[in-house]
Amino acid sequence: MHIKNDNAVSEVIGIVLVVGIVTFAIAVVLFWAIPYMDDQKANVIGDSAEIQLSTVNNLLNDVVYQGKNSSRSVNFVTDKGELHLNSKGDRFIVFYSVNKTFNFTVLDFDDNIEDNFQIEILDRTTNNSQDKVSVFIEYLYDDSLPIEDVFIGGTGINPINVNSNNDLIKAIKIELYAKSFIGPPRDKDLVGLIWLFNVGNILFKTSSGSMVAEIIAENGGIIRGNGDSSFLVDKPNLIQKDNLFVTNMIQFKPRHESSFGGNAVRYRILFINNETNILENKIYVPNEIRFQVYGEYSDAWIHHFKSELNCAEFTDPGLDEPFYYIKKEFLSDNDVSPPGGYQSQYNCIYFSLIQTEIEIDVDVIG
């Protein structure tokens, strides 16, 4: 009788199984473990950058509050990544009516348009003609540019298109009056105000094979993420309490538009307070301060306005662009007059708007 020996076959099968298991393990390491470790390393570098930029932000606040010509410097260290100084950053539009009979919004202030915008009159009873308005544009970023007077009227078109002679960038003040003028405008005819600010930012970016980590210092806050997934991790100094709302637009002004990158780099970041201006510090009727934000990290700011400042969102099928607004109701006919002696049956808000221009520079020191 012949007895079959399967030992050799078993050994071959065992070797094949071992080789298969080892190959699978190597594949897992190559296609999952190594990318995962790279992602974790990028996250750790991002976490370190977030902590350091938060420290930078605290020093920046010192410079803001200590006033003109104050300065601070701080080191920023990273194993890998890129540091960018941007003078543009996100664009903030702040606007509001100063007359209870004039209600408006603004359109086309996005980053791609620099010399025109639109005013959408939502409701007005101060004038029988819905399309007459005088627009005074003050270029805060350049004192040598004269205040521009644009009168729009008699067209029957709403929204009203406004064209400027100079770029609407950096810092702009726009006053709206309910009529045309011969000579200088009168305060009593002022019906609306619009402010534009490009705040600039410091951007740190690092990446792995499958992800990009971005940390941004902008307008007194720290943002993490990009585009629709961005969010504020360090809140800016926007003060809202009861009927008081104070905002400081902190604008970065890099000495040079700069980008730095490499491995194991140490930077020195210098801040200098060039100027601080109180642009508004008044009580306004009606009681809404409105915002629009444009730019790569606008979603983070809009979420902050809605979740932290209790801003409401105004949308309308006839409007292409929503706006967000602070609204407070605290006065009635029987209320005691607030500071300054102002009293009205209409709701109002104490509003302070501050602009700080920060000169910023970066040196590679190791």
Q: Which of 117-131, 167-181, 250-264, 312-326 has the lowest mean pLDDT?
A: 117-131
Between residues 285 and 81, which one has the greater pLDDT? 81
Instruction: Please check whether residue 135 is in contact with residue 189, taking contact to mean a CB–CB distance below 8 angstroms.
Output: no
Q: Average of pLDDT values for 180-209?
A: 79
Can you tell me which residue has the tokens 């902590």? 51
What percent of the chain stands above pLDDT 90?
A: 10
What percentage of the chain exceeds 70 in pLDDT? 72
Kindly report which listed range (2-6, 109-113, 280-284) carries the lowest average pLDDT score.
Answer: 2-6
| Residue ranges with strand state E in the chain | 71-86, 91-97, 102-107, 116-124, 133-139, 148-152, 160-163, 171-177, 190-198, 201-207, 212-218, 221-224, 231-234, 239-241, 244-254, 258-284, 288-294, 312-314, 323-327, 349-364
Whether 1 has a pLDDT exceeding 70, the answer reads no
> Residues 266, 331: contact at Cβ < 8 Å?
no
Q: What string of H, E and C letters represents the secondary structure of 100-149?
A: CCEEEEEECCCCCCCCEEEEEEEEECCCCCCCCEEEEEEECCCCCCCCEE
Query: Dihedral through CA 123, CA 126, CA 127, CA 128, nearest 10?
Result: 70
Does residue 127 surpass a pLDDT of 60?
A: no
Identify the bridge partners of residue 174 per DSSP, sorted by sequence position: 137, 194
Give the separation between CA 206 and CA 214, rounded to whole angstroms. 7
List all residues 6 or more positions away from 183 whose beta carbon is below 8 Å from its beta carbon: none
Identify the residue whose tokens are 């298969």. Answer: 20
DSSP category for residue 24: H
pTM, full prediction: 0.81
CA distances from 65 to 43, 56, 186, 243, 244 (A): 33, 15, 34, 23, 19
Q: Locate tokens 């977030």: which residue?
A: 50
Using alpha carbons only, how large is the chain's radius of gyration in Å?
28
